[in-house]
Chains A and B, each alone.
Chain A
Amino acid sequence: MTFGRMETEFRAKREQGRKLLVPYVTGGLTGWQQAIRAAADAGADAIEIGIPFSDPVMDGPVIQEASQRALDAGVTPLSIFEEARELEVGIPLAVMCYYNTIHHAGHERFAYQLVSAGISAAIVPDLPLEESGLWCAAADAAGIETVMLAAPTAPDERLPRIAARSRGFLYSVGLLGVTGERLSLAASATALAKRLKAVTDVPVLVGVGVSNAAQAREACMVADGVIQGASVVRRLMDGGPEAVGEYVAEVRAAITF
């Protein structure tokens, strides 16, 4: 099997002993492009761009607020794609979008829009394995890597099937709940990452509830890397792009063993 851009880079970096760091930035939020550049300069390996949606059921208060702000400012998937094209940060880009955004655009058309925006991958949190056929076919055909999510509630037999369908990396959901910062890393985060590592060689990244550098380090003891969402978006809203850069540098240092 030939890997897409993101998975090829992730596997090569893992080979070199580097832990993978993927910050999440809400597309269209004030300063989002500068934040992505700052994150790339500070050691991010890829960026997850959130496409704001009216009904983000997997998101907690911080990302909900960021999405709402972007929507209120008139941001659309297409305006984000336009601006993403200008980024040229040298690392792969993924989108995180709810399925209705894809469904409404049409599977083939959406995949094509991603390709033309220079985006490598898509993460669709409300599209589980059983419903993913149509989108995955369109994405595969266009060369878009579809990252699947695995959750702590999955029985053992389900995990290899999810891993087999995942491209780019495998998203190991860190806890039972929505995105947002927590005081400590849930025990389920490392437990699930361990279960996944045992059944797949696709890079396993922990996301949802990895809230600071120390928690990222803890997760990376087991996983191949982390996704940082609410902790990044909060810094962008409170402190601007520089705060994001500083934070990503801090996490990078913490996960450099």
Chain B
Amino acid sequence: MSILDEPSAEGRFGEFGGRFVPETLVPACQELEAAFRDAWADPIFRGDLNQLLGEYAGRPSMLTECHNLGRSLGIRLILKREDLNHTGSHKINNVLGQAMLAKRMGKTRLVAETGAGQHGVASATAAALLGMSCKVYMGAVDVERQSLNVFRMKLLGAEVEAVQSGSRTLKDAVNEAMRDWVATVSETYYCLGSVMGPHPYPWMVREFQRIIGEEAFTQCRELLHGDDPDFVVACVGGGSNAMGIFSGFIDTSTARLIGVEPAGGAAVGRGVPGVVHGMRSYLMQDEHGQVQEAHSISAGLDYPGVGPEHSYLASIGRAEYPTVTDDEVISAFQLMARSEGIIPALECAHAMAWIVREAPKMQGKVVLMNLSGRGDKDVGQMMEILG
């Protein structure tokens, strides 16, 4: 069995995943699963989505080889440029798929959670394009540190609610979006932003993000004259950009798959299996099963859980989940800007930070990194940090 197959009927990847939702949402999840299955098998839906991805989002995204950094690190460093997509990150791939599905299901309203605001911006964008209303829940802490994206969402016509409960970050935004969905389930589509949540979301979002890996695999074969990269590296919040790029290499190559988590939000590294947000997965929790607050410089990775496919990949040893510190990320962010003229999102600066740290052990190797987003949104926060 390949992990790229469908999960089990219960939505399990190994012992992870499932559908742990309030009874009110069970029929909605079942309906969504059926609708996605139907749409995904429909060549017209696939064709329409591909057209949007090409003409609106700007796919395929290109590969860029970083000659300056590669030379100084002693590796071949290749970037998959998801930062160049419309709205500035990989999130648009998933959102266009889900928004088209919502429309097909006759829903008129999107709700979404967001951490860094990239998923919120993508959702607001798709809602504007497809003529739906959109409400985005964002932790109050993140509203502060990603204020540029808050204003972008408002410009796009979305309503943004600052969530004041709990740790006031991504985890609490998910709670609030789920509460909204429970109350408005007949007209509302919950546009989840990562490979997490109850079945079918982890599977569906991975399918929508798979295009990153499929493109990258072919592009690498061309660039590397038939070879594959030795390492495929991506940052992991919920894990959608990582699952997207890993998908192209899990079965087809022997590349080492590296999902980089923030030290303060290391679900795989420091978590034990738990159940929150509809899924069983690795989760940072205290001795009584209370979910712990994550702490990361990056709003998009400030999440104590992780998508169930990553828990599964970790449990079978097909992918590794190391961590990097905020300080390493700040250095990598600046290094990338100065040596390559590319300002990365703080999220994927985590992937870069791991590469910089581990480069001495990877001399002469080919490293493919998913540059999941651009750093414009982080410039204000970095201005404060760097003074």
**Are chains A and B native binding partners rather than an unrelated pairing?**
yes
Q: Which of B264-285 contact A (CB under 8 A)?
A: 272-278, 280, 283, 285
Determine the distance from Cα of A155 to Cα of B12 in the docked complex, in whole angstroms: 24
Kindly count the residue-residue contacts between A and B in the assembled complex, taking CB atoms under 8 Å apart: 115
Contact flag A104-B274 (CB < 8 Å), given A53-B290, A153-B28, A176-B182: yes
CB distance from A178 to the nearest CB of B (A): 5
* Residue A143 CB within 8 A of the other chain: no
CB distance from B244 to the nearest CB of A (A): 26
Interface centre among A64, A126, A129, A150 (most CB of B within 10 A): A126
Q: Return chain B residues, CB-CB under 8 Å to A126.
A: 20-22, 275, 278
* Residue A71 CB within 8 A of the other chain: yes
Name the segment of B53-61, B171-179, B212-220 touching the other chain.
B171-179
Determine the distance from Cα of A99 to Cα of B19 in the docked complex, in whole angstroms: 12
* Residue A152 CB within 8 A of the other chain: yes
Q: Which of B10, B27, B28, B276 contacts A55 (CB 8 A)?
A: B276
Determine the distance from Cα of A130 to Cα of B28 in the docked complex, in whole angstroms: 14
CB distance from A200 to the nearest CB of B (A): 15
Chain A 76-103, CB within 8 Å of chain B: the 1/0 string? 1110000000000000000000011101
* Residue A17 CB within 8 A of the other chain: no
A54 touches B291 (CB 8 A): yes
Determine the distance from Cα of A98 to Cα of B14 in the docked complex, in whole angstroms: 23
Interface centre among A55, A60, A129, A130 (most CB of B within 10 A): A55
A71 touches B290 (CB 8 A): yes
Determine the distance from Cα of A148 to Cα of B24 in the docked complex, in whole angstroms: 12
CB distance from B166 to the nearest CB of A (A): 6
A130 touches B276 (CB 8 A): no
Instruction: Determine the residue in chain B with the shortest Cβ distance to A124.
Output: B20
B10 touches A130 (CB 8 A): yes
Contact flag A154-B175 (CB < 8 Å), given A64-B165, A78-B288, A105-B289: no
Determine the distance from Cα of A25 to Cα of B273 in the docked complex, in whole angstroms: 29
B289 touches A178 (CB 8 A): no
Chain A 54-71, CB within 8 Å of chain B: the 1/0 string? 111110100010001001
Determine the distance from Cα of A77 to Cα of B27 in the docked complex, in whole angstroms: 31
Q: Which of A184-242 contact B (CB under 8 A)?
A: none
* Residue A162 CB within 8 A of the other chain: yes
Instruction: Determine the residue in chain A with the shortest Cβ distance to B165.
Output: A64
Chain B 156-179, CB within 8 Å of chain A: the 1/0 string? 000000000110000110010011
A177 touches B182 (CB 8 A): yes
A153 touches B185 (CB 8 A): yes
A176 touches B184 (CB 8 A): yes
Q: Which of A104, A151, A155 contacts B22 (CB 8 A)?
A: A151
B276 touches A131 (CB 8 A): no
Determine the distance from Cα of A235 to Cα of B173 in the docked complex, in whole angstroms: 28
CB pairs A–B below 8 angstroms (26 shown): A55-B277, A57-B22, A64-B165, A68-B165, A78-B288, A100-B275, A100-B291, A101-B289, A103-B274, A103-B280, A104-B272, A128-B22, A131-B18, A150-B23, A151-B22, A152-B24, A153-B28, A153-B186, A154-B23, A155-B27, A162-B23, A173-B23, A176-B182, A177-B182, A178-B179, A178-B182
Q: B residues bordering A, Cβ < 8 Å?
A: 10, 18-28, 165-166, 171-172, 175, 178-179, 182-186, 272-278, 280, 283, 285, 288-292
Apart from A100-B274, A177-B182, what are 14 other A-B pairs with CB-CB below 8 Å?
A: A54-B290, A77-B289, A100-B285, A103-B273, A103-B275, A104-B285, A125-B23, A128-B23, A151-B26, A153-B23, A153-B26, A153-B28, A155-B27, A158-B26
